Amino acid sequence: MKTKIQKFKAVLIITLTNLLICISVFAQLPQKISYQALIRDNNNDLVTNRLMGMQINIRKGNIKGPVVYTETQTPTTDANGLVSIQIGGNDDFNMIDWPAGSYFIETRIAIIPPYTTYTITGTSQLLSVPYSLHSKTAEHAKTTEKFTSVRKLGEEYLGGIIFYLYIGSDGEQHGLVVSKTETNAYWQSSLSLVNADRTDDGYYNTARMTDSPAKTWITGLGTGWYLPSVDELALLLRNRFHVNKTLRTIGSAPLLSTDYHWSSTEWSESAAFYIRFLNYIVNTENKEKEYVIRAVRAF
């Protein structure tokens, strides 16, 4: 008698509502992260009430960066196909230097006993900033009140809409603006490595892009616009609420949750990073794929 082994895929959902960082009152460091993953089979049906093995890795810098924390668990999906776990709570987790850069949660899933052969992998950026970093930012703001003007998230400015604000080392307010329009385009038409490899600097990356329909469209918007890096694109996603409120008010197309958005961060000769706005998934895709292009600019 042959036994049929059904294969599954994981739809990893990380949103600001279910990615929670619990803060110690005394240490001001994140203690645990609440994480949820929705599991579906190849027919897109929910996998319910099933035991599985999970290995959780936290990587620093990018989805292939060094692993700074790892743990394993054996949770069970609920009646809705949802796995809910708590990540962290030990000394190794508490030693992570959260303000030192961006972090990514890699989840590997095993569906066959003894649940240690991991065949499904998903990675998403941890977009929620620890409170300890917020408190440092707030403290800096109190001691450097030097603004010549005060801008707001969602404000129309420099031909676009403000989606990110911070205080620079000069004590002035700076930020990022997203374009009011978008298009769909290839990242690159003829595949080649251009070393557009910065996760935090889309201006640097865009300047190096060649044979790029995405860059051509952005250049047509005028001086200063560029394709956002993967980190800048993540900031746009996190503050999409403010942008969409304004876009709808002025009658422009909003940032849709179903769209795949290109970043300017290159992964290889043939691939670059994108973010799917539906479930905050950060991944790579062939540059000849046609995804949404939104330009940004800094001030």
Residues 192 and 292 in one domain: yes
Pair of tokens at residue 251: 């009658």
Q: Could you tell me if 109 and 175 lie in one domain?
A: no
Q: For position 31, what pLDDT does the model report? A: 65
Q: Is residue 143 part of a domain?
A: no
**Residue 104: closest CA among 14, 40, 205:** 14
Nearest of 72, 74, 75, 77 to residue 50 by alpha carbon: 77
Q: Spell out, as residue ranges, where the chain has pLDDT lower than 70.
A: 1-31, 41-42, 127-149
Is the same domain home to 24 and 123?
yes
CATH, residue 188: 3.10.100
What pLDDT is stored for residue 161 in this prediction?
Answer: 96
Residue 82's pLDDT is 83
Task: Provide the pLDDT for residue 127.
Answer: 64
Length of the chain: 299
CB atoms within 10 A of CB 92: 13
Output the pLDDT for position 91. Answer: 73
Into how many domains does the chain fold? 2
What's the pTM value of the predicted model, to 2 decimals?
0.54
Q: Identity (one letter) of the amino acid at 122?
A: G
Non-local CB neighbours of 276 within 8 Å, separated by 6+ positions? 259, 260, 261, 283
Residue with token string 């001691």: 143
Q: Which domain holds residue 190?
A: 156-298
CA dist., res. 84 & res. 110, Å (int): 16
pLDDT digits (tens, 9 = 90+) for 87-129: 887 778 878 887 777 888 888 888 888 888 887 777 777 765 4
30 and 162 inside one domain: no
CB 103 within 8 A of CB 60: yes
Identify whether residues 217 and 89 lie together within a single domain.
Answer: no
For residue 47, what pLDDT is reported? Answer: 79
Predicted confidence (pLDDT) per residue in 194-213, tens digit: 999 999 999 999 999 999 99
280 with 160, same domain: the answer is yes
Segment holding 242, helix H or strand E: helix 240-249
Please, which residues have CB within 8 angstroms of residue 153's CB and are 6 or more apart in sequence? 162, 163, 164, 165, 239, 242
- Tell me how far apart the alpha carbons of residues 266 and 42 are, in angstroms, rounded to a whole number: 29
Asked whether residue 76 falls in the same domain as residue 121, the answer is: yes
Same domain, 169 and 38: no
Listed in order, strand segments (DSSP E) in 42-186 are 53-60, 67-73, 82-88, 103-110, 120-125, 156-157, 160-167, 173-179, 183-186
Distance CA 33, CA 237 (A): 20
User: Within this chain, do residues 195 and 263 fall inside the same structural domain, yes or no?
Assistant: yes
CA dist 107 and 9 (Å) reads 12
Structural domain contains residue 142? no
